[in-house]
Amino acid sequence: MAASFSISRLSLSLSSASSISLFPSRATALSSRLSFSSLPLNSSRRISPKPLRFSSSPTSKSTISAALSVGDKLPESTFSFFDAANELQTVTVSDLTKGKKAVFFAVPGAFTPTCSQKHLPGFVEKSAELKAKGVDTIACISVNDAFVMKAWKENLNVNDEVLLLSDGNGDFTRAIGCELDLSDKPVGLGVRSRRYALLAEDGVVKVLNLEEGGAFTFSSAEDILKVL
């Protein structure tokens, strides 16, 4: 009996081995069906990140009327800037406007597209024409620190055509009621200034072209030239 059992078990082992070696395709097919690497992926369910978009269009907060209007005296305030010798200086509204015809224009931010490509370059280009019409001071104001304004000036190769002034804490911007809240934007601009251009004579506002938010429609150098 023992011999018979051993022979039967040996016969079964040989039979199984023969079966595996004779039909390798079955094992391969089974392996393929069980392999995770061969399972199809549903690529349609992959999520691609969307690019961030920034718009300088006005928000509900930016449509509030400014405290400043034509006929008002410009409030006193102090700005900072770097002079030609790279020395940090300060200047007041009175220094810039007393007994003078002055043009102030404000931008929401240095290095931002519209400000860098259109608004500031336009006043640089038309500075000679403005001065020929009696303008003594042309100043660009932004709620940026003086170091950023200096870097922006150098980046755009601005010389003495336009004075780039830092209203770093936004004191002047708040005093004239031109704050622009951009804190909800993904780039984190915080509270800046609405875009505008104004003409003042001896500190009194004669023309005020105040945009809605960061729009750029009637605050260009050409618009100021039209009223001179």
Pairing of strands 196-201, 190-193: unpaired
Pairing of strands 179-182, 190-193: antiparallel
What are the catalytic residues? 115
Contact of 168 with 146, CB cutoff 8 Å: yes
Residue 75 tokens read as 């409030």
Per-residue b or e along 77-110, where b marks 16 or more CB atoms closer than 10 Å to that residue's CB:
bbbbbbeeeeeeeebebeebbeeebbbbbbbbbb
Pick left, alpha or beta for residue 70 (phi over 0 → left; psi -120 to 50 → alpha; otherwise beta).
beta
DSSP one-letter code for 25: H
Q: Which helix (H) or strand (E) holds 92?
A: strand 88-92
Note the Cα 36 to chain centre separation in Å: 46
Cα distance between residue 156 and residue 148, in whole Å:
12
3-state SS, residue 164 = strand
Pairing of strands 101-106, 137-142: parallel
Cα distance between residue 122 and residue 175, in whole Å:
26
